[in-house]
């Protein structure tokens, strides 16, 4: 029986966002499937960057091109997530 390769939808996905004060919105700075996704996640862990596991949000963010800002439709959910992360960081 031939070895089956997982299709794109069944592999792990990862998207990295960057937001700097003064920017209009966060930007997608890295994204990938499978091994690339694992490397993105590992790099985040090594730099003590918060990792949020939300398949639905990642699926939407995977549609954004690299170095583009997230669409306005995602502003609210990403803003709430960033505010939560900032709050956690300040409590450390």
Asked whether residue 32 is assigned to any structural domain, the reply reads: yes
Asked whether residue 82 is assigned to any structural domain, the reply reads: yes
Domain with 58 in it: what CATH number?
3.40.1690.10
**Tokens in use for 67?**
């170095």
Report the b/e string of 43-82 with b at 16+ CB within 10 A: eeeeeeeeeeeeeeebebbbebeeeebbeeebeeebeebe
Domain count, the chain: 1
The H or E element spanning position 33 is: strand 27-33
Identify any residues that bridge with 33 across adjacent strands, giving them in sequence order: 13
- Determine the 3-state secondary structure of 58 from DSSP: helix
pLDDT tens digits, one per residue of 6-43: 555 557 999 999 999 899 999 999 999 999 999 999 99
Note down the domain range covering 63. 9-91
pLDDT tens digits, one per residue of 36-91: 999 999 999 999 999 999 999 999 999 999 999 999 999 999 999 989 988 988 98
Asked whether residue 2 is assigned to any structural domain, the reply reads: no
Asked whether residue 3 is assigned to any structural domain, the reply reads: no
Model-level pTM?
0.81
């Amino acid at each position: 029986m031939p070895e089956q390769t997982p299709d794109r939808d069944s592999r792990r996905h990862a998207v990295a966002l960057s937001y700097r004060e003064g920017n209009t919105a966060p930007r997608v700075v890295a994204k990938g499937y499978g091994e690339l996704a694992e490397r993105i996640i590992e790099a985040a862990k090594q730099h003590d960057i918060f990792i949020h596991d939300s398949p639905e949000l990642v699926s939407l963010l995977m549609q954004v091109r690299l170095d583009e800002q997230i669409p306005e439709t995602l502003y609210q959910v990403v803003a709430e997530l960033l505010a939560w992360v900032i709050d956690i960081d300040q409590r450390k």
